Amino acid sequence: MSRGLENRNPGNIRLSRVRYLGEVRPSRDPEFRQFESLAWGYRAVFVLLDTYRRRYGLDTLRGMIARWAPPSENRTDAYIRAVAADTGLDPDERLDTRDRRTMVPVAASISRVENGVKADLAEVERGWELFVR
């Protein structure tokens, strides 16, 4: 099992001062967050992507993924291409982070890229429900 799925953190969100609902504190992983369930981990993915749009004006796959998976740590261009291919979205298309039809596939693809296995869409949907309530 991948580290992200073991931590119920499908986006491999690193530890920081930010706190998320459903987060296990303290994390037993020295670098990455842990969540009570995959649904809470997916909620954190949605929260973080929405924050990128609202706070930093990053409203495209290219902008979001470049911040999520910077070139200093990742093959960012390949990551962007993979998410675009999975979702059918243009990397430079403006995204509405409050649109379920757009963001559930984006989160599922991020999870696939991060963990190497297809996301459980029921868990992604549960995460969305936690995000929008």
- Tell me the pTM: 0.96
- Scanning 15-120, the segments in alpha helix (DSSP H) are 38-56, 61-68, 76-87, 100-115
Estimate the share of the chain in helix, then strand, then coil, as percent rounded to the nearest 5.
Answer: 55, 5, 45
Give residue 44's Cα distance to chain centre. Answer: 7
pLDDT in single tens digits along all 133 residues of the chain: 899 999 999 999 999 999 999 999 999 999 999 999 999 999 999 999 999 999 999 999 999 999 999 999 999 999 999 999 999 999 999 999 999 999 999 999 999 999 999 999 999 999 999 999 9
Tokens 């309530």 belong to: 133
Neighbours of 90 (CB within 10 A): 12
